[in-house]
Structure 1
């Protein structure tokens, strides 16, 4: 069984939601845990690792639980194969203080779990039209935010010699297609301009995780993503195929 841990936030929830089920549909056994800390920054994750405070909501295989846990406890509970983290979404394009605290976090992780493969999740730019205050740091410009966060994540991955899960690139590339070009009347991959929508956005992220971490051939997967809000909504198989193609093209 492949054991995957994300030290994250709501963007970790978006990224990991479909990973377990995608893998299962292709016959791959996984345990996928996201430690949810609202707006979690590298600085907070590192500080929590030093203090062993139960600050995280435990999310297992894409489903929230009510359990609050500490990072130290979870790290010690399993022989993790892969450990992933990411910066708080509004600060992803800022080298400082991300670089300093990411360095501390990843150095500590390498000591505590030397056999685990370490990764960064490249998060995604907010969607054009999003009115979140954090988007003002990028002049409310989707392309600018994507460019700056990509530069930072690539620099961090190179500096710390860790892998990069290119979710942000997959989302941005999909936004250029007719189907997901919001400005041209396409479907949004976001549910609020910031978080990914429950069906196609989260599926795109999960497929990127599954291919990057597990080497999953998406052609062998048979998962049909469904909305928890509209369970009877028919999923468009053509859009799923388009997403799979975008993920395969973004392979690192």
Structure 2
């Protein structure tokens, strides 16, 4: 029997692949026992039989009710649905799991709740079994028991096939559950889960999941394919849906091992959700960065939080930015604030609170991991404009945020048709070369890493087929017709746009400085890899305005310029 049990557990490897042919093959190879009344003799635990229309035959299930249930009065109880692993039945884990819940209730660590144990056969909790649970069993439990019949009163948990099944059912039926917990489950045992249908399902269910304050907990042993959930974790991060990832050392694919090592973690998580306590993004690494800059820093950070969330990192961004602000002005404002506490030029917002801060206030407002500095774009290629102002700013940063690493935000050169380039008698390439030299000099002086956004822009602009043709030879600039604009294919900056105001005719104008959607995305990718050390090529998020055909190329460029200039962040968890 012991050998057979081990064999049954190992068969879970097959059932978790989400492959219908594999499950069909399993059904052909073994008979499923659908009704198993021999359950643990335990107070409150009963065996029941459902005449299932979905399955076309009887199916067993077990229900455990707490000691207070008989004297419940008008009280309603939340429900935990526990799904067994491959080779198990409704009887397999009902006694063990119920006894742990009962013990936690007695200790005040779990709300009084009902536990239900369906029989999933070898289904992977798909097809007819999925219909049986969702369309028959849950409604029947809500009719026959005093349940809290809403999403906030239902959670799923399970082991192996059941762990994966709990994740699957919760994402496909987000209106029914507020949490799912998985022990030893995975999206795939054969691949890495990138092609799982649960990834688009999570995206389409996002609004319902958020409405129900849904959270996910996955617990896997380090030899039990924890990477199988990585693609889903990235999707949930991008959607800001709380999920916690726990990886245990030396845990075999055995429910007893998971109970011994992590029962308290799972039960505490389910208790938290049933009590309506706020879930946290425990799986996400948090990085805190304060920017001292201007609109170019705002451009770079426009999509940075979304990009970082897609990579499993929560970005906290402080913005000591003022439009067109030079290093000289930042240093001057800091000097004034040192003697005048009312001099607070930088907007600050947190948890709905809006106020103004001085640079000194901002530097102590959080435990910043990084502080970035940059020169105003029109001066960025002139090394003499950096000093002594950047020296003064670095001194203040090191005094008030001594644990923060200083990063130099390398800005980008203007478009070739910029009137300022013409005025300076300078080409885009020459401006870029000057930017490189100036920023390299200050980075070396302060032993600081560079965020190479300017280099990324230059690599895109000089790649074959990526040059911007300016001016557009097919556009009549002398007689422009609103709302038509010149062809700006491949541009990374805003370029030509129509200035429309109520009191005058539309006027065609040129923004040769600020990044457009593609430029902001590229800059954000460079910042992401520079701040986290994560590979920008693995990011799946992209703003809708960035063409599908351009996204992979921009990620490749961001990675290629960032990999040799990383600020050597701590290893990402």
Contact 1:128 1:140 in 2 (8 A): no
Contact 2:304 2:528 in 1 (8 A): yes
CA shift in 2, pair 1:203/1:97, >3 Å: same
Pairing partner for 2:414 from 121, 126, 132: 126
Q: Secondary structure at the match of 2:387?
A: helix
Q: Secondary structure at the match of 1:173?
A: helix
1:27 counterpart residue number:
312
Kindly state the Cα deviation for residue 68 of structure 1 after the two structures are TM-superposed. Answer: 3.5
Q: Which ranges of 4 or more aligned residues in structure 1 deviate by more than 4 Å? A: none
Higher fraction of strand? 2
Gaps (5+ residues) in structure 2?
A: 1-285, 338-342, 471-487, 495-510, 566-573
Pairing partner for 1:3 from 288, 305, 317: 288
Aligned length: 238
Pairing partner for 1:245 from 556, 563, 566: 556
1:181 counterpart residue number:
467
Find the structure with the greater CA-based Rg. 2
TM-score, normalised with respect to structure 1: 0.87
Pairing partner for 1:222 from 536, 540, 547: 540
1:17 counterpart residue number:
302
In structure 2, distance between residues paired with 1:162 and 1:31: 21
Kindly state the Cα deviation for residue 36 of structure 1 after the two structures are TM-superposed. Answer: 2.1
Gaps (5+ residues) in structure 1?
A: 228-234
Contact 2:372 2:409 in 1 (8 A): yes
In structure 2, distance between residues paired with 1:93 and 1:218: 27
Contact 2:493 2:512 in 1 (8 A): yes
Higher fraction of helix? 1
2:389 counterpart residue number:
101
1:145 counterpart residue number:
431
2:55 maps to 1:55: no
1:165-216 Cα distance to aligned partner (Å, 9 max, x none): 000000011011245310287421000211100x210001000000011112
Higher RCO (Cα < 8 Å, 6 or more apart): 1
CA shift in 2, pair 1:175/1:92, >3 Å: same
In structure 1, distance between residues paired with 2:313 and 2:462: 32
Kindly state the Cα deviation for residue 73 of structure 1 after the two structures are TM-superposed. Answer: 1.4
TM-score, normalised with respect to structure 2: 0.40
Contact 1:92 1:152 in 2 (8 A): yes
2:445 maps to 1:155: no
In structure 2, distance between residues paired with 1:195 and 1:151: 21
CA shift in 2, pair 1:208/1:48, >3 Å: same
Contact 1:83 1:118 in 2 (8 A): yes
CA shift in 2, pair 1:186/1:164, >3 Å: same
Kindly state the Cα deviation for residue 217 of structure 1 after the two structures are TM-superposed. Answer: 1.8
In structure 1, distance between residues paired with 2:429 and 2:416: 9
Q: Which has the higher mean CA deviation after the structures are superposed, 99-108 or 158-167?
A: 99-108
In structure 2, distance between residues paired with 1:100 and 1:180: 38
Contact 1:138 1:144 in 2 (8 A): no
Kindly state the Cα deviation for residue 35 of structure 1 after the two structures are TM-superposed. Answer: 2.0
2:455 counterpart residue number:
169
Kindly state the Cα deviation for residue 20 of structure 1 after the two structures are TM-superposed. Answer: 1.1
